[in-house]
Structure 1
Amino acid sequence: MTAALNILGYNHVYHGTDVYTNVRDCDMWEPALRAKYFRTSKPFGRAKFDQLLGHCAAVTDGPANCFGPELVDAYPEATAMLVEREFEAWSKSFRAILEGVY
């Protein structure tokens, strides 16, 4: 999906593996996840998402996929796409990412 969005001209596509190249992103994703799932603070809105994703033209994969409704609310002008994959194909791809981490 990232490659397809790049081909379509989206300059920077934020993908879950971006946290491996910029682990400081975790310092912002963690409070976002805590706010959403544990209600430790107000949910993230556009201003907070801009701090984390403002340099991106698109997002795909986790952890952004945990915030679909919030991102749609924060960026109503954005286009949202739902990608469906067969579980086996997705699982193979996900395992390859995990194997690259270890």
Structure 2
Amino acid sequence: TALEDNELITAIEFPHVDKFAYAKFRNPASLYALVGVAVARRGSDVRVAVTGAGSDGVFRWKEAEAALAGNFSAGALDGLKVSAAGLNGDIHGSAEYRAHLIGVMAKRAVAAA
């Protein structure tokens, strides 16, 4: 939303969720998130957001959302894989490593929610 001159945002409201957690794998030197995964459930609606891994910033992992909508448990993610295509790769971790971490962090976030 674009603000007009002299406009000011005074409040932001988010709907209440039944379950939520965020898990991240930190780079040991800088402590920034190499990969982070947020999971939220509101009724039968589930969202899984991934940070730090994609070149376009945050993205949703829709396959995980579908799996968790039927069974909100870490086991529901067994066998799911994120493609490394389009993920960041650098001296801290390859795209393939980040793809693996997304699955691990997603399971940890679901378990913590």
TM-score by length of 2: 0.28
Q: Answer 1 or 2: which has greater strand percent.
A: 2
Q: Which has the larger radius of gyration?
A: 2
Q: Which has the higher contact order (CA 8 A, sep 6+)?
A: 1
TM-score by length of 1: 0.30
